[in-house]
A and B are shown apart, each in its own frame.
Chain A
């Protein structure tokens, strides 16, 4: 595709609900990243995939967060039993190769937990 596409753009979840956020990276991009951006803050790293392999998940805040990229293209970030502190914009980015010299970001999914 022309750019990184994320869906949904907006998601309102009741506390305790499970959510799934989708990312379609630029076609052919090897690397895929998820970041979390809280209100008034810069993005914070969550996890990194190289093709289908999740090479770094050190930024996931708890075991309620799970990400996958089973076929090395589309990725899903799943949050179980959402809590209010999970409210943030979740950004997906992809880059052509392993070295992150230019990552292209999607518009993000704004998650609000009520």
Chain B
């Protein structure tokens, strides 16, 4: 069984500061890893994904994440926060085998950006 842990249900940063949202996973098979963002009253939007290859993945809106197998982590970062980054962020995992269609999500981290 897979699981995802997002450390910190709420993260607050100042505009221009580094954003770091933490995600750890457990999986019995090599995983696919995802970060989604959810703005109020909107659906989930894919920020970035890791499937195979380069472990540092760049996504939209200046976000990136690094897959670290030894730490079972996939933390999301952005060098400089913008007010428009305020939203809820979800880390998700699927396996790379027969059930690769099924996403297991973390509980989410609400990002607040202060002016």
Please give the residue numbers on chain A whose beta carbons come within 8 Å of chain B beta carbons, in ascending order: 3-4, 31, 33, 35, 40-45, 48, 56, 91, 93, 95, 98-108
Contact = CB atoms under 8 A, between A and B. Distances in A.
Contacts of B58: none
Contacts, number: 61
Interface residues of B, number: 24
Interface of A, helix, strand, loop or mixed by DSSP? loop
Contacts of B42: 107
17 contacts: A4-B43, A42-B92, A42-B108, A43-B44, A43-B90, A48-B101, A56-B101, A91-B43, A93-B44, A98-B101, A99-B100, A101-B32, A103-B46, A103-B103, A104-B46, A105-B44, A107-B42
A93 B41 CA distance: 16
B104 interface: yes
